[in-house]
Amino acid sequence: MIMQNLSESLEPNSCVGRPQLVGEGQHPEKLQGHWVLARVGKRVLRPGGLELTRQMLSALAIGQRDRVVEFAPGLGVTARMVLQSSPSAYWGVEREPVAAQNLRQQLIASGVQIVQGQAQASGLPSACASVVFGEAMLSMQSLADKSRVFAEARRLLLPGGRYAIHELCFFADDASDDVRREIQAAMSMDIHVGVQLLSRKEWIKLFEENGLKVIWSGQAPMSLLEPGRVLRDEGFWGSLRIAFNLLRNPMLRRRMLAMRRLFRKYKKHIGAISLVGIRISEST
């Protein structure tokens, strides 16, 4: 089983020294927001925090017979949680070469494979998985690319397989176009990546358009950078590490505080959502 070989790989720096960081050597002003947070030591980069991730994994009910594909595992936080359930296979599909290499060094176990590639076209065999999921990556895609990722997830799933997402969303299904444009422009400017959010109704529509029936949903406020959430997600020592790194680096501190101000400004409009659907159609 995977867990028999994984115990020594759970420490990020075990046997490999300090891992290279994504964007290492790049000016903090040019880093995408999620890698800014990683640079200051934040390990949980999901909009709904560990709490919503745990709810999603509970709904997925991953067991020893499951074969799991994760899109954009990033720092591998959720991957480690999944591997505690000892699935028969795990593939992580990671776009960033540095992040993929770090994961290969950290998640050394039988049945674990890290593939460098795009979620839209993973290169994995069709119907190879009973579970596919991704977190905090679709919100940064255009609607066309979101649809491509959903189509790829469905291609990878066996009939009856489960697909889950954990993303940003608009709380209101009827948010006006002006409000949407204002929020998406502000987020794109501060996070340094294009952001196109959907409402819960629109996320569900993407599932349905790709032969997936939603069987569970959960939502959470967008409080990723609030002190209480940071403490719950990162623990005491992790929070202390973040505070120390922010004190040492004024530029990273400015970027992180700007993101927190943005989330606070629009907290009535945006939050986190997680959905789980099953593949119900045999047609391709």
Q: pLDDT tens-digit profile of 135-148?
A: 999 998 899 999 99
Q: Mind giving me the DSSP string for 228-252?
A: HHHHHHHHHHHHHHHHHHHHH-HHH
Mean pLDDT, residues 65-70:
98
Hey, is 38 helix, strand or coil? helix
Please report, rounded to a whole number, the percentage of residues in the chain having pLDDT higher than 90.
Answer: 67
pLDDT at res. 29 = 62
Q: How confident is the model at residue 73 (pLDDT cuts 50, 70, 90)?
A: very high
| Residue pLDDT, tens place only, 35-47 | 788 888 999 989 9
| Residue pLDDT, tens place only, 87-132 | 999 999 999 999 999 999 999 887 899 999 999 999 999 999 999 9
pTM: 0.87
pLDDT at res. 27 = 54
Q: 225 pLDDT exceeds 90?
A: yes
pLDDT at res. 204 = 97
Please report, rounded to a whole number, the percentage of residues in the chain having pLDDT higher than 70.
Answer: 88
Superfamily name and number for 27-278? Vaccinia Virus protein VP39 (3.40.50.150)
Select from 191, 101, 152, 169 the least CA-distant residue to 279: 152
pLDDT at res. 65 = 96
Select from 37, 15, 36 the least CA-distant residue to 238: 37
Cβ neighbours of 253 (radius 10 Å): 17
| Residue pLDDT, tens place only, 272-283 | 999 999 998 665
Q: 200 pLDDT exceeds 70?
A: yes
Cβ neighbours of 230 (radius 10 Å): 20
Specify which residues 265 forms β-bridges with.
Answer: none
128/254 Cα distance (integer angstroms): 44
For the chain, how many helices (H) and strands (E)? 10, 8
Q: 23 pLDDT exceeds 60?
A: no
Distances in Å between the Cα of 152 and the Cα atoms of 43, 88, 155 are: 27, 21, 5
Q: Mind giving me the DSSP string for 76-142?
A: SHHHHHHHTT--SEEEEEES-HHHHHHHHHH---TTEEEEESBTTB--PPTT-EEEEEEESSGGGS-
pLDDT at res. 20 = 55
Select from 77, 105, 114 the least CA-distant residue to 8: 105
Q: 11 pLDDT exceeds 60?
A: no
1/87 Cα distance (integer angstroms): 8
Q: 13 pLDDT exceeds 50?
A: no
Beta-sheet pairing, 157-170 with 198-199: parallel
pLDDT at res. 109 = 80
Q: 235 pLDDT exceeds 80?
A: yes
The whole-chain average pLDDT of the chain stands at 87
Residue 220 or 174, more confident: 220
